[in-house]
């Protein structure tokens, strides 16, 4: 099986319409996850983000600042 880097390189070389169709199919496939699998994936993502934060690779944003930004974006 090809690795993710190879797949991504091939996908990015597709025409715009084909990339959009591929993205749509990939996103739809996530809806097919059962609740247990979705919970497991979100827990892994949360752990990865916490690790990145603790190791200084990403910073934090105050909740009030984030709420203000979201409010501006959705006006």
* CA–CA distance, 62 with 68 (Å, rounded to integer): 10
Residue 75's pLDDT is 87
Q: Which domain holds residue 73?
A: 35-75
Query: Distance (Å, rounded) from C-alpha 36 to C-alpha 45?
Result: 14
Query: What pLDDT is attached to residue 58?
Result: 93
Residues 41 and 74 in one domain: yes
Mean pLDDT by 10 residues, the chain (75 residues): 88 96 92 88 95 95 92 90
Contact assessment for residue 41 and residue 33, using Cβ atoms and an 8 Å cutoff: yes
- Per residue in 34-46, pLDDT (tens digit) is 889 989 999 999 9
Q: Are residues 41 and 61 in the same domain?
A: yes
Q: Residue 56: its pLDDT value, please?
A: 95
pTM of the model: 0.52
Q: Does 9 share its domain with 39?
A: no
Query: Total domain count for the chain?
Result: 2
């Amino acid at each position: 099986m090809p690795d993710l880097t190879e797949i991504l390189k091939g996908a990015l070389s597709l025409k715009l319409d084909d990339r959009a169709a591929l993205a749509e199919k990939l996103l739809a496939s996530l809806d097919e996850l059962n609740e247990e699998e979705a919970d497991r994936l979100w827990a892994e993502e949360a752990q990865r983000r916490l690790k990145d934060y603790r190791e200084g690779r990403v910073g934090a944003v105050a909740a009030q600042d984030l709420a203000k930004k979201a409010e501006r974006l959705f006006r």
